[in-house]
Amino acid sequence: MGSLHSAFDPEKFRTDGHRIVDMLANILATGMSGDGAVLPWVAPAEQLEYWANRMDEPREAAVDFLTSFAERSIKIHHTRYMGHQVCAPLPVAALAGLAAELLNNGMAVYEMGPAATALERWIVRRTCGAFGFVEGDGFLTSGGKLATVTALLAARGRVLGEGALQEGTDAEYAIIASEEAHYCTARAVQVMGWGRDGLISVPVDGRFKMRSDLLPAAMEQAARRGRRVVAVVASACSASTGSYDDIQAIADFCSANRLWLHVDGAHGGAVAFCPELRERICGIERADSAILDFHKLLLTPALATAVLFRDPSSSWAAFHQRAQYLFAENDPEPWRDGGRRTMECTKLSMSVKIAAIWRTQGEELIAEHLRSVHALAREFAAMLRARAAFEVAIEPESNIVCFRFRRAGMAEDALDDLNRALRVRVIESGMFYIVQTALNGRVWLRTALMNSLSTVADLEQLLDTLECFAGAGAWVGSFIRMRTAAAPAGVAGGGKKETGFEWRSPFFQ
């Protein structure tokens, strides 16, 4: 058998596949039990050197290569992964992704992805129904940023007319969003050519929600800049704190001023599938467009994002190009050729991963997962309030909790440095993975509790670890700033680190 035939050999694929699935199942089991490191920390330069050397070595078996890859990757299924808003995908969805990638059905036109196109149509209709878009329409695309650009391009097209797409626009328009809105909104405004002044930021209240009472002032600010407002973006929820804007109040303003309302539901829009939580997005049914990431709270591998429109005709407003070699003119079912409406031409069959969850697990499992991670966030906030060394930024509305370690008498700037350094120590230890954010100019630790198998015991151990790392009474002064510091003994990737601090705690001796 020639080398090409050997590379495609079905029996070799079968054998390799069994070995690789066994390896991944072991990683899944380890993560679910809370054993091993969440992130086997290695400095970036060292990681690059390892793989550069590895790739120059003689060829190896697929399972050996992928085992090394997995061992050196962050473990999203680990119960102590509490960092970025990326879910631990269901195994069945990962298997569906394997099938989709081997079949490799691109979805620009129906013939290249017939089953995936039909499944996408079903998913879009079901999700529109959950959002209250009774006659709505839309499509799937690759991630929230691309989805936001697409939705706001559609807003531009509907408000300004088709000429905006054909001829472009001058920098005389603007979008209004909360100062806590995801940065993809600013990127979308810049992509449309409206520059930094094309985004009008509205201050937030004490719970980091948009102050809808300041929307008239935002309109006046736009006018002073010589800008006409096209749309308002509501966050459901914000990325930093998980706070939901008051969609009803924003919808009232948009209706009174004939503005497009877009809801960034990339993260929190998932609560549409949980009856007990849906009130958080009350008013979303009045939006002109909304987005939802299935790869955040809906147990789906990345990337898979829905772009949805209340008026089905709006789903055609972002793009409308002719391509004789792809699209049939006057097609009675134009929805079938996805490339007409999306930025992508060739697009992954992401619908099969979502549909596999619905088909094999049912919507009830999704609701159970959502209830679990939201309840865990509330429990975590209560645990933090019960410990004198911590404070909570706000009572969580979602699965996101922002908190801060405090030391009596320590200046705020020093507390910022302390919390930054604690995060570095936590992730380099491999014991937990958490992130940080800035609220009102101060550094806060942040957890996104994405894994419904994480437990209260995991969270208790996180707080114990942070307190231990802070080393009650073990700090010399507060910190001694320096360019490099020694990593704790036994930490993966130990040695000199660019942490900016020297730790003098008995815990690390």
**Residue 476 binned pLDDT confidence (cut-offs 50, 70, 90):** very low
Q: State the CATH class of domain 365-508.
A: alpha beta
Above 60 in pLDDT, residue 482?
no
Residue-range domain boundaries for the chain? 105-361, 365-508
Quick one: DSSP state of residue 433?
B
Length in residues, the chain = 509
**pLDDT tens for each residue of 342-380:** 878 888 899 999 999 999 999 999 999 999 999 999 999
> Which residues, other chains included, contact 171 with Cβ-Cβ below 8 Å and sequence gap of 6+?
193, 194, 195, 197, 198
Q: How far is CA 285 from CA 25, 160, 279, 431, 470, in A?
A: 41, 23, 12, 42, 47
Above 50 in pLDDT, residue 282?
yes
Q: What is the pLDDT of residue 324?
A: 45
**pLDDT tens for each residue of 113-137:** 899 999 999 999 999 999 999 999 9
Among residues 394, 315, 256, the alpha carbon closest in space to that of 127 is found at 315
Q: What is the pLDDT of residue 329?
A: 57
Q: What is the pLDDT of residue 494?
A: 35
Mean predicted confidence (pLDDT) in 306-325:
78
Mean predicted confidence (pLDDT) in 191-202:
93
- Integer Cα distance of 271 and 366 in angstroms: 9
Above 70 in pLDDT, residue 503?
no
Above 50 in pLDDT, residue 484?
no
Say whether pTM exceeds 0.85: yes
Above 50 in pLDDT, residue 141?
yes
Share of the chain above pLDDT 70, in %: 89
Mean predicted confidence (pLDDT) in 385-411:
96
- Integer Cα distance of 402 and 412 in angstroms: 16
Q: What is the pLDDT of residue 342?
A: 81
**Residue 333 binned pLDDT confidence (cut-offs 50, 70, 90):** low
Above 70 in pLDDT, residue 487?
no
- Integer Cα distance of 187 and 181 in angstroms: 11
Q: What is the pLDDT of residue 328?
A: 55
Q: State the CATH class of domain 105-361.
A: alpha beta
